[in-house]
Amino acid sequence: MTELDTPSQILAAAEARFSLYGYNKTTMAEIAGDCNMSAANLYRYFENKLDIGAALANQCLVEKEHGLELIITDDSKSCAEKLQAFILYILHYTYHHFDTSPKISELIEAMTDQRPEVMQSHRQSKLSLIHQLLEQSQEIGEFSFADIDQTAEAINTAISIFYLPTIMPMFTLEEFERKADAVCTLLLNGLTHSG
């Protein structure tokens, strides 16, 4: 094992254990054992479990942001199509992660409480992408709105249900998809209203 791949191995082991047992019940010693290393060696790479959780959450969120960015920069889609794809991507990403790792909400709660800067950074990235979409729509006259910042914030708030893992058990994926379609239709009706 090289020095470069050790942190990746630690994160993979932590993710597997968090998914199976939850963030709260996992110890640094257990993660170290899964990596066939001593706890003392593990501390060379991460100061504590919270640091591992933050690195793991950031890795996951960056992956999601990259997928969303690909949607926003896809010139083959209209802005309306991008908005719909954006919402569905968030829903499917969240639902898939909760479905395969139902205990992942413990990690999200820990990050929200103890490392809010991780979640805030992701929120800002999403807002920035929505802002970018709205700017694109202004350039071609597809959407009409008064204030770009307020509109981006309103869209982000309206779709927040689709990126909260704790809400995923409430509905089937098909029900969530119908809700996402209804929210998107409502948003587009407001954004394209010419009256």
pLDDT tens for each residue of 5-25: 899 999 999 999 998 899 999
pLDDT tier, 103 (very low <50, low <70, confident <90, very high otherwise): confident
- DSSP per residue over 25-61, as a string? T--HHHHHHHTTS-HHHHTTT-SSHHHHHHHHHHHHH
- Give the per-residue pLDDT at 166: 81
Stretch 53-74: mean pLDDT, rounded? 93
Q: Which residue has 């706890």 as its token pair?
A: 39
CA 128, 191, 61: angle at the middle one, nearest 5?
25
| Whether domain 53-192 has CATH 3.30.950.10 | no
- Give the per-residue pLDDT at 108: 83
pLDDT tier, 89 (very low <50, low <70, confident <90, very high otherwise): very high
CA 167, 100, 112: angle at the middle one, nearest 5?
50
Burial annotation 134-164 (CB, 10 A radius, 16+ → b, else e) = bebbeeeebbebeeeeebbeebbeebebbbe
- DSSP per residue over 96-130, as a string? HHHHH-TTHHHHHHHHHHH-HHHHHHHHHHHHHHH
* pLDDT above 70: residue 170: yes
Residue range(s) of every CATH 1.10.10.60 domain in the chain: 1-47
Residue range(s) of every CATH 1.10.357.10 domain in the chain: 53-192
Nearest in space to 60 (alpha carbons), one of 6, 17, 11: 11
Rounded distance, CA 84 to CA 134, Å? 13
Tokens of 59: 């890795």
CATH number of 1-47: 1.10.10.60
